[in-house]
């Protein structure tokens, strides 16, 4: 951690980006992109989540072992999703 202090300016910038993302996701939901509606919604949500993790949760300024833990959460989640869906979609 080595006490990196994130400035309020960055916090406000991230906040505004998250607001813009929320607006964008609501707008996109009312457009017809066919099967891509859900993809777009999840992409925007993941982008917002990444901003929160990197800046609000200070992951960007955290030691590498914290990065490892964060990546492992995505990794285990991916295993659960991939294996379960590979079952359900091939029945």
Give the footprint of another protein on this chain (CB under 8 A).
1-3, 5-8, 11-12, 14-15, 18-19, 22, 25-26, 29-33, 37-38, 41-42, 44-45, 48-49, 52-53, 55-58, 62-63, 65-66, 69-70, 72-74, 76-77, 80-81, 84-85, 88
Give the CA distances from residue 80 to residues 61, 67, 76, 85, in Å, rounded to whole numbers and listed in that order: 29, 20, 6, 8
Shortest distance (Å) from residue 41 CB to another protein: 4
Angle 75-55-50 from CA coordinates, rounded to 5°: 35
Minimum distance between the CB of residue 3 and another protein, rounded to whole angstroms? 7
């Amino acid at each position: 951690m080595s006490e990196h202090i994130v400035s309020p300016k960055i916090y406000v910038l991230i906040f505004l980006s998250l607001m813009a993302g929320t607006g964008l996701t609501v707008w996109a939901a009312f457009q017809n992109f066919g099967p891509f509606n859900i993809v777009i919604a999840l992409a925007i949500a993941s982008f917002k989540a990444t901003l929160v993790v990197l800046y609000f949760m200070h992951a960007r300024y955290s030691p590498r072992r914290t990065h490892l833990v964060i990546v492992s959460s995505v990794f285990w989640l991916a295993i659960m999703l991939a294996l379960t869906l590979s079952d359900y979609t091939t029945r």
